[in-house]
């Protein structure tokens, strides 16, 4: 099943915010932002910008009629800075002009003098200075302190993982259009229309119902538009409120990269204790999350780091500590995996260190400690329907791991400076918003008298295939052709109080809500036809292939006939469905509960080849066994696995987000920040879905697929590390990601680098081999 | 000062007066209303804005509208003939060579040029033709398959 979206895309007819026909009098906006990471505003003069030709208005914090506040969890984020600036890229003024170019030019005429304060970019420093968001969190299981003496080997280490730029190909954008009375309609590229509605209303001092937010589709989101689409929408609405004109704001790539948050960088310390056989007895970790200058979603992301800090393993004694640290960088935000990947990385690093200490293959330790049915997660949820071992075993068998490993070892024996590395990466990812209340969704279904169907849900199409998924679900539930079904834009007047499209849960929540709505309509239709045809058992009426059946034989009625008759008989052909994930809760006081409806499992095997003299490498193969439940749309699900993997691999290898000590982003353009290109992905990419793996919550046995595959990418770090070990075994290679070619080279040749040269012997023997 | 230009876009002739600094992509999107061409970076890095100018794939964010004076342009909107998808469009649809669709026009136009010059490209040649285009959603494999699909169809 492919949605109509795909056809529109291939024709160039799909519309994004700024492709919508331009309304009369449309004005364009540009943002003036702070060039300083921390300081007090001394002198702020916008008069020259205001006088520029073509400029209609220059708006500052003073012009905000409501509350100058857009913090999603904690009210700590001003829409436009008032007295203090806290990161480079923080919006301070909005210029509204006839053209975007005029607006940007006028921004250059704004004078902003800032008395500079000290800048913190390191989360540990922030923590020491008490600069944190919320309170530190600790998850515990068993008794770690009591367990250390029983461990035969205890090792410790540090990890540092970098942030990640979303690079959604469509930059942040919004358009606000005045409606009747005080109504403002906002077209926004947001994953969270309700967040936009709420915050626009807050900023303007309006009730929510005066703000209508409409989202047709996104050119990618990946978490970057979960809450950080809000400021741009608020700014356009503010400008519309002020000028009475429609106003559009489209960030350039560089503005977007400078002004918006990204995946959080983390620093972590770990300590792990095992038996000589490699059974993990105790694990302790301290995560310092670099949250940036405002809380944004960081505390929620921190929580998921804790939830996933032991990845797919059962460890009886655990203490997991995490704290969200305030620095003077753009507020870091949601990105596929939502803090989970950072937690898992440290776990995998700890296992690598143990393996190196014991001289045991890493995968042996991984396998020995995999979760099993009825184990406990550190947050108190019991492991049910566990597929950790199953996916592991299927992967080992399907992809013939032992033979593969032998080939790699052989290669490494034969080659001197080119080395291969092989790593296994199991994943376990909990599905549900960890804020339990967000696990709700509604859908609105209309059947028209010609038999065509319109469906609105709270889910946003951002390329993940939501429209196709909802269409598939609805066509199956109604028993009609998918061509009859249209999935509408996501609109706050049709669906109220919607949760963001995030947490991989969009199809789960909105698909189930759609099913619940459709079931009401179908049941009404069945009762009606039973009455019409004098059938004793309405439950034995079915609709499929656009026809009505009774006890398995055709009644002669078609779908359209059915609908028309129902209309004539004044049967309600519309329904609203509401779904709330059952059985989930979490007690933050005790840090225990059942936060997830279920878990997604899987295992990947990754192979790399590393040129140990140049540091360059290729990812040769990634072979995955993934737990998808029952596929809903195989191609779309596969696309999610592949796309997620690409981002995960990118995060670990080539995507290097850099800030200097002044808080300047040194990777704020596509020339200095490298996302994976067309050569990046392994030639040999295989994905097998676990068979007979239906998930009861569904819909239709399906499991969420958006985020989990991202974390397979973590394996590439350890494959590279293994290749490095094959060239030069040493225990002190750093756990610092991304492992760019440059970093690999510097790590491999640390001594030579220190001495200022490579040893000629190395080069010579390299020439002789290969 | 505005400068008169005359361009043929998707077979139709347009005459307009434009600012000398207006980008070609701005001209297409805002003056002609052809929003099928996207802007992903405006610094020649992402390829979303790729179109064909006199048969060559170019990044329309890095050309001025006046540079296209007298040229023949082909954009996304001009690929389908009488409602029939071009094989390359069909390929992206069938092989699921897209997710959010934002990179798609650029990918398709870059691939179109390749297929015009070389109707049976091997995988390497396809990747080389697409090395100026970023896609953040897919892992590129389906995009390559889409082009292969089109090549097969063209050669049939
Ligand atoms: S918009 Fe032209 S290359 Fe990115
Ligand atoms: S499909 Fe989204 S960027 Fe390629």
Which of A580, A614, A636 marks a domain boundary?
A: A580
Are A676 and A765 contained in the same domain?
yes
Query: Does B138 contact A639 at a Cβ distance shorter than 8 Å?
Result: yes
Per-residue tokens: A725: 């070990």
pLDDT single digits (tens) A404-458: 999 999 999 999 999 999 999 999 999 999 999 999 999 999 999 999 999 999 9
Question: Per residue in A223-245, pLDDT tens?
Answer: 999 999 999 999 999 999 999 99
pLDDT bin (cut points 50, 70, 90) of residue A661 is very high
Average pLDDT over residues B21-45: 96
Active site residues of A: 707
In a domain, A308, yes or no: yes
Tell whether ligand 1 has an atom less than 6 A from the beta carbon of residue B59: yes
Model confidence band, residue A4 (pLDDT cutoffs 50, 70, 90): confident
| Residues of chain B contacting residue A635, judged by C-beta atoms under 8 Å apart | 96
* Interval A135-162: pLDDT, tens: 999 999 999 999 999 999 999 999 999 9
Compute CA distances A755 → A724, A751, A758, A766, whole Å: 20, 6, 8, 20
Q: Kindly write down the DSSP assignment for every residue of A1-12, as one continuous string.
A: ---HHHHHHHHT
Q: Assign domain B87-154 to its CATH architecture.
A: Orthogonal Bundle (1.10)
Q: What is the pLDDT of residues A680-704, one digit of tens each?
A: 999 999 999 999 999 999 999 999 9
Give the residue extent of every domain in chain B: 3-78, 87-154
Residues in contact with ligand 2 by the CB-under-6-Å rule are A 169, 220, 463; B 98-103, 135-138
To test the contact with chain B by mutation, choose from A169, A218, A467, A655 the residue with the greatest count of B C-beta atoms within 10 A, namely A169
Question: Is the peptide bond preceding residue B6 cis, with omega within 30 degrees of 0?
Answer: no
pLDDT at position A759, please?
Answer: 53
Helix (H) or strand (E) holding A396: helix A388-398
Tell me, yes or no, whether A76 lies in a domain: yes
Residues A207 and A274 in one domain: no
Q: Check whether A596 has a pLDDT greater than 50.
A: yes
Token pair, residue A167, equals 């690079």
- Predicted pLDDT at A757: 66
Do domains B3-78 and B87-154 share one topology? The answer is no
Beta carbon of B68 within 6 Å of any ligand 1 atom? no
pTM of the model: 0.96
- A321 part of a folded domain: yes
Whether residue A642 and residue B141 make contact (CB cut-off 8 A), yes or no, is yes
CA B133 to ligand 1 center in whole angstroms: 9
In-domain check, residue A398: no
Q: What average pLDDT does the structure give for chain A?
A: 96
Residue A760 has pLDDT above 50, yes or no: no
DSSP state of A83: S
Q: Which residues of B touch A21 (CB under 8 A)?
A: 33
How confident is the model at residue A756, as a pLDDT?
75
3-state DSSP call for residue A737? strand
Does residue A376 lie in a domain region? no
Q: Which of A207-211, A302-306, A750-754, B101-105 has the lowest mean pLDDT?
A: A750-754
pLDDT, residue A1, reads 59
Sign (positive or negative) of CA dihedral A510, A512, A515, A519? negative
Q: What is the pLDDT of residue A765?
A: 53
Of A228, A259, A290, the last residue of a domain is A259
A269 and A238 share one domain: no
> Measuring CA to CA, which residue among A129, A139, A108, A128 is closest to residue A32?
A108
Q: Tokens in use for A756?
A: 């200022």
A3 — pLDDT class (breaks 50, 70, 90) = low
- The answer, for B127 touching chain A at a CB cutoff of 8 Å, is yes
| pLDDT tens by residue, A179-230 | 999 999 999 999 999 999 999 999 999 999 999 999 999 999 999 999 999 9
Any domain includes A402? no
Other beta carbons less than 10 A from residue B120's beta carbon:
11
B139 interfaces chain A, CB cutoff of 8 Å:
yes
How close does chain B come to A222, measured CA to CA in Å? 9
Give the residue numbers spanning the domain of A56: 4-118+166-259
Q: What is the ipTM of this complex?
A: 0.98
pLDDT digits (tens, 9 = 90+) for A312-361: 999 999 999 999 999 999 999 999 999 999 999 999 999 999 999 999 99
Of A169, A635, A646, the CB nearest to B96: A635
pLDDT at position A282 is 98
Q: Note the pLDDT of residue A609.
A: 98
Do A663 and A747 sit in the same domain of this protein? yes
CATH number at residue A23: 3.90.1170.50
Cβ pair A245, A178 in contact under 8 A: yes
How remote is the CA of residue B20 from the centroid of ligand 1, in Å?
A: 19
**A498 band by pLDDT with thresholds 50, 70 and 90:** very high
Q: Do B101 and A8 make contact, defined as CB atoms within 8 angstroms?
A: yes
A738 prior amide bond cis, ω within 30: yes
CB contact under 8 A, B136 and A14: no
Percent of chain A residues topping a pLDDT of 70:
98
B38–A16 C-beta distance less than 8 A = yes
Q: Which of A1, A7, A11 to mutate to test the interface with B (most CBs of B within 10 A)?
A: A11
Q: Total domain count for chain A?
A: 4
The CATH code of the domain that includes A559 is 3.30.365.10
Please state, in angstroms and rounded to a whole number, the distance separating the CA atoms of residues A410 and B150. 40
Question: Would A385 be classed as within a structural domain?
Answer: no
Asked: is B3-78 a CATH 3.10.20.30 domain? The reply is: yes
The answer on A420 and A333 residing in a single domain is no
Whether residue A141 is found in the same domain as residue A15: no
Q: What is the 3 state secondary structure string of A321-378?
A: EEEEEECCCCCCCCCCCCCHHHHHHHHHHHHHHHHHHHCCCHHHHHHHCECCCCCECC
Given a cut of 60, is residue A770 above it in pLDDT? no
* Full DSSP string of A544-598: ETTEEEETTEEEEEEHHHHHHHHHHTT---EEEEEEE-TT-EEETTTTEEE--SE
Q: Evaluate whether A606 touches A382 at the Cβ level (below 8 Å).
A: no
For A71, A433, A519, A635, the CA distances from A514, given in Å and listed in that order, are 31, 19, 9, 22
Tell which of A232, A259, A286 closes a domain. A259
Could you say which DSSP state residue A297 is in? T
For residue A133, being part of any structural domain is answered with yes
Distance CA B45, CA B43 (A): 5
CB contacts of B147 in chain A (<8 Å) are: none
One domain, residues A251 and A301:
no
Are residues A602 and A731 located together in one domain of the fold? yes
B134 touches chain A (CB under 8 A): yes
């Amino acid at each position: 099943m492919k949605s109509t979206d795909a056809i529109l895309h291939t024709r160039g007819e799909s519309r994004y915010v700024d492709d919508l026909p331009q309304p009369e009098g449309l004005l364009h906006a540009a943002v003036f932002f702070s060039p300083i990471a921390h300081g007090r505003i001394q002198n702020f003069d916008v008069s020259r910008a205001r006088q520029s030709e073509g400029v209609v208005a220059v708006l500052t914090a003073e012009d905000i009629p409501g509350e100058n506040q857009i913090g999603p969890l904690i009210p700590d984020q001003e829409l436009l800075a008032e007295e203090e600036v806290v990161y480079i890229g923080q919006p301070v003024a909005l210029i509204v002009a006839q053209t975007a170019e005029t607006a940007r030019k006028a921004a250059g005429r704004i004078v902003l003098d800032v008395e500079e304060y000290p800048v913190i970019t390191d989360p540990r420093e922030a923590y020491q200075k008490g600069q944190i968001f919320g309170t530190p969190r600790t998850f515990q299981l068993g008794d770690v302190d009591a367990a250390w003496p029983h461990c035969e080997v205890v090792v410790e280490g540090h990890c540092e993982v970098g942030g990640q730029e979303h690079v959604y190909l469509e930059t942040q954008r919004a358009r606000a259009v005045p409606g009747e009375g005080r109504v403002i309609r906002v077209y926004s590229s947001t994953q969270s229309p309700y967040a936009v509605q709420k915050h626009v209303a807050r900023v303007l001092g309006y009730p929510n119902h005066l703000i209508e937010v409409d989202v047709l589709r996104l050119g990618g989101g990946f978490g970057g538009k979960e809450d950080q689409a809000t400021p741009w929408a608020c700014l356009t609405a503010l400008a519309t409120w002020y000028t009475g004109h429609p106003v559009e704001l489209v960030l350039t790539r560089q503005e977007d990269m400078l002004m918006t948050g990204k995946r959080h960088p983390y620093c972590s310390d770990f300590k792990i204790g095992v038996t000589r056989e490699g059974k993990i007895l105790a694990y302790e970790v301290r995560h310092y999350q670099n949250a940036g200058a405002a809380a944004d979603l960081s505390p929620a992301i921190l929580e998921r780091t804790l939830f996933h800090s032991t990845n797919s393993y059962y460890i009886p004694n655990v203490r997991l500590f995490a704290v969200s640290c305030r620095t003077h960088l753009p507020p870091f935000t949601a990105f596929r995996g939502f803090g989970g990947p950072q937690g898992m990385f440290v776990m995998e690093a700890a296992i690598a260190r143990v393996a190196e200490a014991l001289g045991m293959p890493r995968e042996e330790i991984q396998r020995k400690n995999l979760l099993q049915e009825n184990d406990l997660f550190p947050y108190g949820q019991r492991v049910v329907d566990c597929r950790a071992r199953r996916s592991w075993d299927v992967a080992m068998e399907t992809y013939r791991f032992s033979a593969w490993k032998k080939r790699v070892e052989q290669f490494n024996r034969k080659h001197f400076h080119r080395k291969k590395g092989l790593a296994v990466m199991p994943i376990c990812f909990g599905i549900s918003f960890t804020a339990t209340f967000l696990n709700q969704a509604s859908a609105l279904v209309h059947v028209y008298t010609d038999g065509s169907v319109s469906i609105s849900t709270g889910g946003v199409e951002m390329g993940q295939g939501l429209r196709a998924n909802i269409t598939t679900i609805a066509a199956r539930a109604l028993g009609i052709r998918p061509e009859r079904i249209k999935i509408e834009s996501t609109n706050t007047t049709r669906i109220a109080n919607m949760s963001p499209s995030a947490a991989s849960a969009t199809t789960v929540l909105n698909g189930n809500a759609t099913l619940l709505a459709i079931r009401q309509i179908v049941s009404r239709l069945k009762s009606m036809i039973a009455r019409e045809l004098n059938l004793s058992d309405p439950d034995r009426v079915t609709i499929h292939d656009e026809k009505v059946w009774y006890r398995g034989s055709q009644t002669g009625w078609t779908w359209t006939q059915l609908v028309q008759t129902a209309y004539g008989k004044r049967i309600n052909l519309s329904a609203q469905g509401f779904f709330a994930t059952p059985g989930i809760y979490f007690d933050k006081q005790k840090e225990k509960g059942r936060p997830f409806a279920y878990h997604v499992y899987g295992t990947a095997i990754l192979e790399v080849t590393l040129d140990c003299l140049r540091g360059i490498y290729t990812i040769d193969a990634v072979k995955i066994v993934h737990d998808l439940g029952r596929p809903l749309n195989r191609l779309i699900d596969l696309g999610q696995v592949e796309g997620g993997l690409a981002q995960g691999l990118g995060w670990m290898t080539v995507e290097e987000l850099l800030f200097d000590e002044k808080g300047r982003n040194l990777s704020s353009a596509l020339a200095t920040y490298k996302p994976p290109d067309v050569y990046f992905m392994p030639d040999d990419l295989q994905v097998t879905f676990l068979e007979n793996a239906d998930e009861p919550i569904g819909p239709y046995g399906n499991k969420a697929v958006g985020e989990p595959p991202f974390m397979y990418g973590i394996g590439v770090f350890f494959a590279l590390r293994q290749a490095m070990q094959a060239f030069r075994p040493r225990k002190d290679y750093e756990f610092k990601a991304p492992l760019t070619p440059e970093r690999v080279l510097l790590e491999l040749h640390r001594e030579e680098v220190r001495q200022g040269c490579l040893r000629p012997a190395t080069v010579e023997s390299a020439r002789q081999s290969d | 000062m505005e400068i008169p230009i005359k361009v043929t876009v998707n077979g139709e002739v347009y005459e307009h007066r434009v600012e000398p600094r207006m980008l070609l992509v701005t001209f297409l999107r805002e003056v002609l209303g052809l929003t099928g061409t996207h802007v992903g970076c405006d610094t020649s890095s992402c390829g979303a804005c790729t179109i064909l100018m006199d048969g060559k794939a170019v990044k329309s964010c890095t050309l001025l509208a006046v540079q296209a004076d007298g040229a023949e342009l082909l954009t996304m909107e001009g690929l389908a003939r009488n409602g029939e998808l071009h094989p390359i469009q069909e390929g992206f649809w069938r092989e699921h060579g897209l997710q959010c669709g934002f990179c798609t026009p650029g990918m398709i136009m870059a691939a179109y040029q390749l297929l015009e010059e070389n109707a049976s490209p091997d995988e390497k040649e396809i990747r080389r033709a697409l090395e100026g285009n970023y896609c953040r959603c897919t892992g590129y494999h389906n995009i390559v398959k889409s082009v292969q699909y089109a090549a097969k169809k063209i050669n049939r």
